[in-house]
Structure 1
Amino acid sequence: MGSPLSLVIAIYMEWFETLAIEEAHKKPRVWLRYVDDTFIIWNHGNAELDTFLKHINNASPSITFTMEKENHNELPFLDVLVKRTDTKWETSVYRKPTRTGQYLNQKSNHHQSTKRGIINTLLDRAFGLCYTKEGLEKELGIIKNDLQRNDYSRVMVEQALARRRQELHKEEKPPQPVLVLPYIR
C-alpha cells in the first residue's frame, strides 16, 4: 500500500486471479479480495477446496495463497467476524486474541477533535458491522469498557452514542440534482 507499484500489482493480481479461477475445474461461488486478503465461499467440499488451493498456488511460483477455514461456522476477515447460520450470514466486529483495548488516553495532550474521532470511529465500525441488535449492544459494551479504561468520561461516550443514534433515525432527503459545468476559456 502506498507504493508506486501498488496499482501495477493490483492489476496483475486481478488478471492472475481471473485466469486461475477460469482454469480451475471447480470454482468458488464467491471470490472477494481486499489488498492481499481474499474471502471465498466454496460449495464443493474440503477435498476439492484443497485441490483448488494447490491449483492457484501452482499458477505462479512467486504467489502463494494460504487458507484459513471457518471454525464453528465463524471466519474472521479483516476486522469482520462472519458467522454462518442455517438461513443467513451475520457479521460483527472481529478482534484478534492479542488485542489490548488500548487507545489514545483521554488525558493525553491531543486536541479534543482527535479524541472524539476515536470514539466516533469505534461507534461507526460497530454500527456498520454488527448485524444483530444483540451483537451491536455487546459491541457497544466493549467500546464503553475500553474507553472507560482509557479515561474517557462516560458522558462523552454517551453523547457521541446519542448523536450516532440520532443520525440513524434522521429522515433521508432525496438527492438534489447536480449540474456540472466544465470550465472553458
Structure 2
Amino acid sequence: DTFVFINKDANVDNILSILNEFHPSIKFTRKIEDNDKLEFLDVQVIRSSEQQCFETTIYRKPTFTGLLTSWNSYVPIQYKKASIVSMVNRALNICSTYKHLEDEFNEIRRIGLLNNYPLSFIDT
C-alpha cells in the first residue's frame, strides 16, 4: 500500500496511468478524501484547515463488530490482556492528538465492556 500527497492542480488520472504502466502485476488505485478525511489501512487521516496540518486517528471498517475473546471464555488471562494492550498500543502509535487518543481510549473501554471485560481490568 502506498500513500501519496498530490497537489490539487495535478492531473491525478494521468499520474495514476503512469504508475500503472510500470508493471502488469501492480495496479494502483486512488481514493479521494471525503470531508477532509481519508482512510488508509487502519488509519484515518484528517486534514486540519485551521492549523494547516494532518491529524491521525484509528479507522475501523464499517464491518467491524467489536468482538474480542469473551471475558467469560476459558482462555489464559494473558490472551485477554493482549486484546486490550494491543488496542492501547495501536492508539498510542496512531492517534496524533490527545483528543483522538481520549476518544480511542473510550472506544477501547466500550469494546471491552461489550465483551464483558471488567472496567478495572480494561483500565489497568
TM-score > 0.5 by shorter chain: yes
The runs of 4+ residues in structure 1 deviating greater than 4 Å are none
1:150-172 Cα deviation digits (max 9, x unpaired): 0100110112xxxxxxxxxxxxx
What are structure 1's unaligned runs of at least 5 residues? 1-36, 160-185
| RMSD between superposed Cα atoms in Å | 1.3
What residue in structure 1 maps to residue 2 of structure 2? 38
Alignment of 1:56 with 2:47, yes or no, is no
What residue in structure 1 maps to residue 70 of structure 2? 105
Aligned residues: 122
Alignment of 1:85 with 2:39, yes or no, is no
Distance 1:125 1:62 in 2: 32
What residue in structure 1 maps to residue 99 of structure 2? 134
1:86-124 Cα deviation digits (max 9, x unpaired): 211100000111111111111111111111111111111
Secondary structure at 1:67 match in 2: coil
Alignment of 1:151 with 2:124, yes or no, is no
> How much does 1:72 deviate?
1.2
Aligned with 2:60 (options 87, 95, 114): 95
Distance 2:123 2:21 in 1: 53
> How much does 1:62 deviate?
2.7
> How much does 1:44 deviate?
4.9
Secondary structure at 1:138 match in 2: helix
Structure of higher CA gyration radius: 1
Residue type at the aligned position of 1:64: K
Secondary structure at 1:117 match in 2: helix
Distance 2:94 2:23 in 1: 35
Secondary structure at 2:4 match in 1: strand
Give TM-score scaled by structure 1 length: 0.62
Higher RCO, Cα 8 Å, sep 6+: 2
Distance 1:59 1:129 in 2: 31
Distance 1:61 1:156 in 2: 50
> How much does 1:128 deviate?
1.6
What are structure 2's unaligned runs of at least 5 residues? none
Give TM-score scaled by structure 2 length: 0.91
Alignment of 1:116 with 2:81, yes or no, is yes
> How much does 1:41 deviate?
0.6
Q: Which of the two has greater helix per residue?
A: 1
